[in-house]
Structure 1
Amino acid sequence: MAGIDRYPSPVPHSPERCSFSVRALFVTAVAVLVAFLISPLVRADAGCTPHPAPSSADRWTDEQLANARTIVTIGTERRVPEQGLVIAVATALQESRLRNLRGGDRDSIGLFQQRPSQGWGTPKQLSDPAYQTGKFYDKLLDVDGWQRMRLTEAAQAVQISAFPEAYTKHTDAATALVAGLRGDTDQGCD
């Protein structure tokens, strides 16, 4: 056994085997580079998955959440600041409990209980939550200095309610709803 080498030298690789190894290494490097480059896009898309409704979601019906989502989505599309979204949701909570009512006080209709007789639109238009929401934001954004007003003052400037202070009791719920629903309409999700 004296002449036997216990650790033989490695067999030289064939050119085909070296070429395969180089190609495999190149393909792996390209795959890693591609994964690195697209990972921010995948993470951005992951942030656009619908977030659950606020923690108090068990007290909201599907209709109420859908209407709140409409208010938040339209406001976000119009670049209304978050404070404006909260004002709109709080107003709809007070006026209709976020339900699209077919009638109400006098000739009031819909989420915001807007009145055809007061120039808000036709009964058919006012039965559409998106239309009513748009009209609410139109008027809110026309109020000079609404961003510096208390929620009740801004809502009252739009709605001209008989009970202007009633909006304030909905501030916390509106804030929670907006926070919970904003993820559905976040600006990076287009």
Structure 2
Amino acid sequence: MGQRKRSSERSEQSGIVGWAVALLVVLGLFAGVAVVVMKMLPDGGPEHDECTVTASDGTADFDPAQAANAATIAAVAQARGLPERAVTIALATSMQESKLFNIDYGDADSLGLFQQRPSQGWGTPEQVQDPVYAAGKFYDGLVKVRGYETMPLTEAAQEVQRSAFPEAYAKHEPEAAVLAAALTGRAPGALSCRLKGDPAPATAAPIRSALAEEFTPVLPAQSITETASGTLSVRPGADPGRGWAIASWTVAHASELRVREIAFDGKVWTREDSGKGWRVGQATGPSGGSPPPADPTIVRIRYAD
């Protein structure tokens, strides 16, 4: 398994330190429904790149590095055939342990997204700072917890983590559930990232490699093809939920992988108009080229003009 160490260093070096996390519960005036609004805004305020997940019962804002790590956590669960509840538990756990940053420090020798300790048998320092490995080790423990799907989240997380503060996981459940719904594809187009500036030149290899590493075996390598210059076509199968899971994964990783456009199921996200989120439309072609034929079963990822 590749050691892809995505971490908070890039964000922290840009001055994203001292995060303020506020969980605001607002009673709906008309529906009488509690709406969860979570803000994790970095220093620099609203002009900074950010990803937002929106659902009927709430919204949550994240730094792109957090969104990418969350998408990896969700992808590893789907590759293992685990339910959405497993993703919610894992996301809430990582929110508490590291704020979804792949940090290289912690209590004693704790490291990574889940603050796993090499001295306690979780793996080498390099392994526990690989998001794919770390998520897999968390799920290894979670699936051994009988009835984790229906027990309180804090109990399931504590069975895996053995934290000194087990009740702390519970406060992250609302935003973790909203994020899990988007990343598993149950809430189509619920995750979008607002990214500023023009990305550096990109190639297909990192995108193909990351997709294959995180979604195998549910997304075989042969289902990812370069069908046009600067464009990858991903065939997720007949399940539109999986297609949206892959589309959401891609937008979450768009900053890291320098993606310019994602199209699926009659909707399109473009970096140029990323502040508008997912819009009705089809994939476009590279500059001066013809757009690919519309196909609602294919996720199209454009990484170059």
CA contact (8 A) 1:87 1:174 kept: yes
Quote the Cα distance in structure 1 between the aligned partners of 2:53 and 2:182. Answer: 4
Aligned length: 138
Report the equivalent of 1:187.
242
CA RMSD of superposed structures (Å): 1.9
Bigger radius of gyration among the two: 1
Moved over 2 A (4+): 183-190
- Greater RCO between the two (CA within 8 Å, min separation 6)? 1
Q: TM-score, normalised by structure 1?
A: 0.68
Q: Give yes or no for contact 1:53–1:177 (8 Å, CA) kept in 2.
A: no
Contact kept, 8 Å, 1:98 with 1:111, in 2: the verdict is: yes
Name the TM-score, length of structure 2 as normaliser.
Answer: 0.43
Aligned to 1:54: 53
Give 1:81's aligned residue: 83
CA contact (8 A) 1:107 1:117 kept: yes
Gaps of 5+ in 2: 1-50, 189-214, 216-240, 247-297, 299-305
Deviation at 1:180, TM superposition (A): 1.8
Write the mapping of 1:1-190 to structure 2, written as runs, cut at 5 A: 53-55=52-54, 56-57=59-60, 59-183=61-185, 186-187=241-242
| In structure 1, C-alpha distance between the alignment counterparts of 2:178 and 2:150, rounded to whole Å | 21
Equivalent-residue separation in structure 1 for 2:127 and 2:99 (angstroms): 20
Greater share of strand: 2
Q: 1:181 & 1:187 partners in 2: Cα distance?
A: 9
- Structure 1: 5+ residue runs without aligned partners? 1-51
1:156–1:164 contact (8 Å) kept in structure 2: yes
Check whether the contact 1:53–1:180 (CA below 8 A) recurs between aligned residues.
no
Distance 1:126 1:162 in 2: 20
Name the SS of the counterpart of 1:68 in structure 2. helix
What is the distance in 1 between the residues matched to 2:103 and 2:156? Answer: 23
Using the alignment, how far apart are the partners of 1:85 and 1:134 within structure 2? 11
